[in-house]
Structure 1
């Protein structure tokens, strides 16, 4: 194990951390015993104590088990935006012995169909504004049991009208389907779950990531692997029971899941939940609720810092500001420091590692840097072809071994074979990211081995977008690349050769509008360029990298 980074390790923090043998659910149980009347969740003016959070989680778990037949080890869909229902739903699935399958609410019906079939989901918890995406699938998927959540159930009389998203204000909708029930009715049945038998090595969650085939893959995480990063982040970022944590990152995503939900629950802190990002609401909330911890992504922070109303006093309570997604521009980092005295603590991780494998030391962070390996993480740089280990300063693939590394991809044995490499008798996960390590043990990202686009922290797989574009009758050939974007980090551009009969009869805006209907909002192309031909190798492979380089050169100037 390379140890040069220990010289810059956070002070008064041990180099190693023993992962507890307990489950994630027991973190909630213990915090509810310790801090029963403390606010666990603040939601647009409403508050839920730890005692209430535990009580509702138990009731929902009882309903899932006794009325919907959820069994130990069964996968259960969680298709809900940031809300009390996401937290309660997640922990209730664990309490019932199930495995949480958290899916991005931006996915379309067709995309959702894949996840339901891939995980053989029979039961789901669905936000009511997403219910219309589920209904068309019911005749052709195994899922029959649905609990529909209405976010306004958790608003209180006198909740402020300003800043509340429309889907949070909505009253309950009509269901009228056998096996479908409103959240409130599920809770009011007051079913009591059986004794919990889950252990640290049972599966807890299957977050999905895009892979080399272009199809999403479920990452198998146990209570133990998730606890590794929950306890790791808790110690690294000094989360205490008096922390006030702003939850703006989507909780279905591993960074938001661990840092905005699991860590606050472990520490008995308060989560301030936002269903939709709103920089002005965030500014007022940080100031008025004296937020201490905010884990975000650089694109969100760039938008926040661009708010002309932002003042020094708005950020006075913040003690920790951390995240990742993409490198934070130096100018934004400098303005942040001038306004708050804080440096953005950048980190690095993947769905396969349930968030961080690397973190910048809070008191010695470097800008546009992944940081140093976290607790008990052995990170190396290897030649991606020969797998030979490389030295400081040499560019190669980042590989990691650590307690947070997943067991493998769900039902993807071939992918699992290719995803790991053995070094010195240890199994390392191949991240697919090209990076380098400096002489102090800090890691920097250079490029991606995988042809992945990172748009506002969301990973977009070009072949998936291309596959959808080929369904349009005008498209003869398509090549999708990521192009630099000041706000999103990267954005999606498609180069298209039109079928002869459509030339001069269709424009890029029409194809964008069509794609917008077919794909999640973060995936569809924002730019279309028509070409007569696309660069190819002699064997007929598309030279997508050449197109991507041309776009980068345009931006650089």
Structure 2
């Protein structure tokens, strides 16, 4: 039987959330009809109204269909920093009946190759600051990327700003191309003014495919439908009482499911205004809160720590803030207290995965608990089970979180084996195995205890050691490598690599050489910050590298 709901469920909310049976793009149409002249996006003081947003997404969709040959169900890559173009491209792709493949802008060329080949995307939206990483893949026989639409962030700086944009945002347009080269500037796409065909997909068709990795190394696409995306977007609106008068600060990366849902899909549904920051900057965030009267801000704990440690914090009037929420890593008690002392609000922690398109658990706003994942939200059946026997465990015992709910992905793209391993059946219902170990208290709140799966949490970014190891083996000096988590005062955890050098290169390469190479060949958050050369790696009787022994030794050393 499913567990009882927490006695601290918000009194104003139903336990069951009725979801719209619509395509996600319908939210853009409805908000444009309701609030045509109201700003949806504010980018360094340049507003984009709901009506303008809808019109530009339709032009993008028309170009995708008529010039790029994008058809219903096709996957389209989205590779940019937070920007109006990211948000417009997302909904333009949806309006073309296609599927969004959001990519971390930190990823490098070799990483991009996998996403393009695996998803089968032939069209990509790329920002000009990232364009050089994509160039080698255009026309590549394996990647088969045929069309690239290049965005210049500065196109949406149309009036003076109270916050000085960073150079990569204000940089003038410098990418030129044309259909023959497979490259088209963003402005030319809009200027073509091509109308799209009708919407033909529905709530149970694929909508977005964020990639996640795991123990096997290669990232996997999480298949989400319009219905599952609508589920957590609408859930956030209801849980935190979002309205058309809300003003949100979007500083979390939009490619990440929490940033995507809290900073784009949920506010579009409610008709709220989103103040967009392309990259984290604590002073820019504070000035944006003051200047625009920001009411809601989703962050990760490391962002909040950095924000509240600003020596100039008292210079800013933060009285407009009414909600500060997020997840990714536990919020330190001292920081949560400082936030409450400064603003009078509590940090609302939540928990979710790419596989659940953001939260399955959130703390009740009226009674949050510190260092807590929260309680299962609307229609979620979450249980604690023994990871070996899959038997449900009683309250207080630590086991694996398994979840059932309408926000679960359909499975992993073109990976039936991984899909099969990710799900189990309990009481005739399909549950996702999260790989996270937790316990549940007497009030139904979930508390993280450990990880069943091998993963590093660096400033809220999930780093999968097997993926990093796979890439590091491309270095000619590396014979064997094992990647673990090391404690880091700022990031919480950081990436450490134990490396066995092959004999031919043993004297010619240093630890710093390996670190530099890694930063040039993989996303910055994945690249090892620490490399330690060793003569050999511990192995089991079957020859497997005993990563957990190295991890335990590292933890013991840090504790000393």
Instruction: Give the TM-score normalised by structure 1.
Output: 0.97
Residue aligning to 1:96? 96
Shift of 1:392: 0.8
Separation in 2 of the partners of 1:117 and 1:477?
27
CA contact (8 A) 2:177 2:185 kept: no
| Per-residue deviation, 1:538 | 2.3
CA–CA separation in structure 1 for the residues paired with 2:419 and 2:278: 35
2:400 is paired with a residue of what secondary structure? strand
User: Is 1:464 the counterpart of 2:464 in the alignment?
Assistant: no
Partner of 1:148: 150
Alpha-carbon displacement from aligned partner over 1:279-298 (angstroms, at most 9, x marks no partner): 01101111121110001111
Structure 1 distance, partners of 2:343, 2:442, is 30
Paired with 1:230 and 1:431, the residues of 2 have a C-alpha distance of 20
Deviates more, 1:24-33 or 1:136-145: 136-145
How far the C-alpha of 1:275 sits from its partner, in A, is 0.6
Q: Which residue of 2 aligns with 1:111?
A: 111
Match of 2:12 in 1: 12
The one of 272, 294, 302 equivalent to 1:269 is: 272
Maintained 8 Å contact 2:351/2:374: yes
2:286 alignment counterpart: 283
Alignment deviations for residues 80-100 of structure 1 (CA, whole Å, 9 cap, x no partner): 211010111000111110011
* Structure 2 Cα separation of the partners of residues 555 and 312 of structure 1: 37
Question: Does residue 1:168 correspond to 2:132, yes or no?
Answer: no
Task: Check conservation: 1:4, 1:440, Cα contact below 8 A.
Answer: no
What runs of 5+ residues in structure 2 fail to find an aligned partner?
Answer: none
Preserved contact between residue 82 and residue 274 of structure 1 (Cα < 8 Å):
yes
The answer to whether the 8 Å contact 2:348/2:362 transfers is: yes
Structure 2 Cα separation of the partners of residues 220 and 194 of structure 1: 24
More deviation in 66-75 or 399-408?
Answer: 66-75
Shift of 1:501: 4.3
Most deviating of 101-110 and 176-185: 176-185
Query: Structure 1 CA distance, aligned partners of 2:306 and 2:481?
Result: 32
Give the CA RMSD over aligned residues.
1.4
Give 1:313 shift: 5.2
Offset at 1:459? 1.4
Question: Where do 1:55-70 residues align within 5 Å?
Answer: 55-70=55-70
1:456-510 CA distance string (max 9 Å, x none): 1211111221122222222222110012222212100011122234445432111
The 5 Å alignment of 1:296-315 reads 296-311=299-314, 314-315=317-318
User: Where does 1:16-55 land on structure 2 (aligned, <5 Å)?
Assistant: 16-55=16-55
Q: Is the 8 A contact 1:382 1:399 kept in 2?
A: yes
Cα distance, 1:230 vs structure 2: 0.8
Distance 1:176 1:196 in 2: 30
Q: Given the alignment, which residue of 387, 390, 400 partners 1:397?
A: 400
Counterpart contact for 1:214–1:463, Cα < 8 Å: yes
| Alpha-carbon displacement from aligned partner over 1:387-446 (angstroms, at most 9, x marks no partner) | 111111111111000010010000001111111111011110111111111111111111
- How far apart, in 2, do the equivalents of 1:325 and 1:60 lie? 33
**Counterpart in 1 of 2:183?**
180
Distance in 1 of aligned mates of 2:8 and 2:333: 22
Corresponding residue of 2:439: 436
Match of 2:317, SS state, is helix
Is 1:373 the counterpart of 2:347 in the alignment? no
2:161 counterpart of 1:159? yes
Partner of 1:554: 557
CA drift of 1:343 comes to: 1.2
Q: 2: distance between equivalents of 1:300 and 1:556? A: 25
Instruction: Specify which of 453, 475, 489 is matched with residue 478 of structure 2.
Output: 475
Answer yes or no: is 1:532 the counterpart of 2:535. yes
Query: Distance in 2 between the 1:498 and 1:427 partners?
Result: 45
The equivalences for 1:226-375 within 5 A come to 226-311=229-314, 314-375=317-378
SS in structure 2 of the partner of residue 8 of structure 1:
coil
Cα deviation for residue 312 of structure 1 reads: 8.0
In 1, the alpha carbon distance for the partners of 2:145 and 2:473 equals 29
| Alpha-carbon separation, structure 2, partners of 1:430 and 1:489 | 25
- SS of residue in 2 equivalent to 1:52: helix
After TM superposition, give the deviation of residue 19 of structure 1 in Å. Answer: 1.1
